[in-house]
A and B are shown apart, each in its own frame.
Chain A
């Protein structure tokens, strides 16, 4: 396999592996926060109660990381497919990696701070 095909294969596999887990985690998250509980009730008390349990902390942390890996691989494939110039592709990869990394750090920081505080 050439370098390009190998990367495409890795992205392809990552998208599908994370998709299977996300289908359960994201729909479950939406059901808990919008159907089983009315959205107006999901205030800071609700978050504090949920994040006092290891299950929900792990749920949200895994969901966050998998969602960002899913988005990152998807973006990588879109750039690979639609941007012909090598230089622009590189700059776009760097920008998306930085953006997704920043979002992941902010999200993990939020979960970690909340976990330590409770």
Chain B
């Protein structure tokens, strides 16, 4: 592995670590605000803790995927900047994108983008329509199913060079 590739992987790992910490903090503070499983001392929680629902997880997933996509964008801006400095430096870093672990990472990134986009469309529809609580749950289910379907089909295309 060359020095540039090493630097790229360190940056990518750093951004993944930041996303992990952000996820933990968001889950914790969302549950606390909601007065759910983690709010107050354990004695106060007895009998009052409610089960976190789907829409709350969608809220957390929306933030986490948003931050994750941004974390990758920051690294991606840097690797494209390498192109402006030297084309061979860009190619050196870019060779990593075709490796098996990076292909898996790219599939996960696609799932994140698809969920964030489709759930975002759901939120836009909720803003402008009076579709209500049951409609919102129904749309969330559709968003997750469509994201999973497109994501897995595209993943097959992205991962296929690994077997040939």
Q: Which residues of A contact B (CB under 8 A)?
A: 16, 19-20, 23, 26-27, 30, 34-35, 38-40, 42-44, 47-48, 64, 67, 71, 74, 78, 82, 103, 106-107, 109-110, 113-114
Write the chain A residue with the least CB distance to B127. A16
The answer, yes or no, to whether B77 is at the interface (CB within 8 Å) is: yes
Write the chain A residue with the least CB distance to B22. A78
Provided the pairs A39-B106, A43-B94, A74-B66 are in contact, do residues A109 and B124 lie with their beta carbons within 8 angstroms? no
Residues in B neighbouring A43, C-beta threshold 8 A: 90-91, 94
Q: How many residues on the B side are at the interface (Cβ–Cβ under 8 A)?
A: 35
Whether the Cβ atoms of A109 and B127 lie closer than 8 Å is: no
Provided the pairs A27-B113, A109-B84 are in contact, do residues A16 and B124 lie with their beta carbons within 8 angstroms? yes
Q: Which residues of B contact A (CB under 8 A)?
A: 29, 63, 66, 70, 73-74, 77-78, 80-81, 83-84, 87-88, 90-91, 94-95, 97-98, 102-103, 106, 110, 113-114, 117, 120-121, 124, 127, 154, 157-158, 161
Provided the pairs A40-B98, A67-B73, A109-B81 are in contact, do residues A35 and B158 lie with their beta carbons within 8 angstroms? yes
Q: List 18 A-B contacts (CB under 8 A).
A: A23-B117, A23-B120, A30-B110, A40-B98, A44-B87, A44-B90, A44-B91, A47-B90, A67-B73, A71-B73, A74-B66, A82-B29, A103-B73, A106-B81, A107-B80, A110-B83, A113-B84, A114-B84
Q: A74 CA to B69 CA in the complex, in Å?
A: 13
State how many angstroms separate the Cβ of B143 from the closest Cβ of chain A: 13
User: Total A-B residue pairs with C-beta atoms closer than 8 Å?
Assistant: 78
Whether the Cβ atoms of A44 and B120 lie closer than 8 Å is: no
Whether the Cβ atoms of B97 and A42 lie closer than 8 Å is: yes
Residues in B neighbouring A74, C-beta threshold 8 A: 66
Whether the Cβ atoms of A110 and B84 lie closer than 8 Å is: yes
State how many angstroms separate the Cβ of B157 from the closest Cβ of chain A: 5
Whether the Cβ atoms of B106 and A42 lie closer than 8 Å is: no
Provided the pairs A19-B120, A27-B113 are in contact, do residues A35 and B154 lie with their beta carbons within 8 angstroms? yes
